[in-house]
Amino acid sequence: MVIRTWNEPNQSPGFRARMTYSDSPASGPKTIYTVDPDEVVNAVRRWLHTQTEAPHQP
């Protein structure tokens, strides 16, 4: 998972985030954009949950 955050001046809210991730090595990347810091935390939790499940078979 790669998370990029930045601030957009003169915007409300100014917070911006882009998260790029994949659920397994075989799947293609997915991207999420949000203006909500809590959504970043929730997305990381969901992604971590997929990483702690049974190991992926090659």
pTM: 0.78
3-state secondary structure of 38: helix
22-47 confidence digits (pLDDT tens): 877 788 999 999 999 999 999 999 99
User: What's the rounded Cα separation, in Å, for the pair 7 and 36?
Assistant: 12
Output DSSP code: residue 1. Answer: -
pLDDT of residue 56 exceeding 60: no
pLDDT of residue 55 exceeding 90: no
User: What's the rounded Cα separation, in Å, for the pair 10 and 47?
Assistant: 32
Give the position of tokens 């409300």. Answer: 12
